[in-house]
Amino acid sequence: MEKIAIASDHGGFDLKENIIAYLIKKGLEVDNFGAHSADSVDYPDYGIKLAQAIIDKKFVRGILICGTGVGMSIVVNRFPGIRGTLCSDVYTAKMCREHNDSNILIMGGRVIDVSLAIEILETWLNTEFEGGRHQRRLDKINQIETNLKTK
């Protein structure tokens, strides 16, 4: 059974709590990295923790939520090997898994409601990476990271 990492800032706290309850009800194991209340916090702290846990191979995939999802997207996509994708619709959730092998789902707690978030989550969790020509494209992205390290 896949273990899911999840984190949010205060803007995503309520949606995160609803998603945790949903995942647990489905029988999935969830590791909550915080925030643990709706009190104001700095979103980078939570995005960094979750991205590092994926890089360290403690989790295969994770979920991040902030007010719009934009802040978390900016933070996690600074890390090599992270493919965080901001999704506000089901189609994007499907395509980011099929074509980009997304390993972090990012949503905006202030821009989508719980029912849509769960549809997005289900699609993201249940869509497989297609590989093939899409792997070739990911390899090109990975090469950028390699080239930057050697400069």
Of 10, 36, 66, 134, the active-site residue reads 66
Of 6-10, 21-25, 138-142, the range with the lowest mean pLDDT is: 138-142
What's the full length of the chain, in residues?
151
Question: Does the structure show a pLDDT above 70 at 16?
Answer: yes
Structural domain of 86: 3-150
The model carries a pTM of 0.91
Quote the pLDDT of residue 142. Answer: 72
Tens of pLDDT, residues 40-56? 999 999 999 999 999 99
Task: Tell me how far apart the alpha carbons of residues 65 and 8 are, in angstroms, rounded to a whole number.
Answer: 5
Question: Does the structure show a pLDDT above 80 at 39?
Answer: yes
Mean model confidence pLDDT for the chain? 92
87 is catalytic: no
- What three-state secondary structure class fits 59? coil
36 is catalytic: no
Question: Does the structure show a pLDDT above 80 at 133?
Answer: no
Question: Does the structure show a pLDDT above 80 at 122?
Answer: yes
| Number of separate domains in the chain | 1
Q: How many C-beta atoms lie closer than 10 Å to residue 8's C-beta?
A: 32
Radius of gyration of the chain (CA): 15
Give how far the C-alpha of residue 101 lies from the chain's centroid of Cα atoms, to the nearest Å: 11
CATH of the domain at 67: 3.40.1400.10
Of 10, 36, 87, 99, the active-site residue reads 99
- Give mean pLDDT, residues 85-98: 96
**pLDDT range class, residue 1, cuts 50, 70, 90:** low
Residue 66 amino acid letter: C
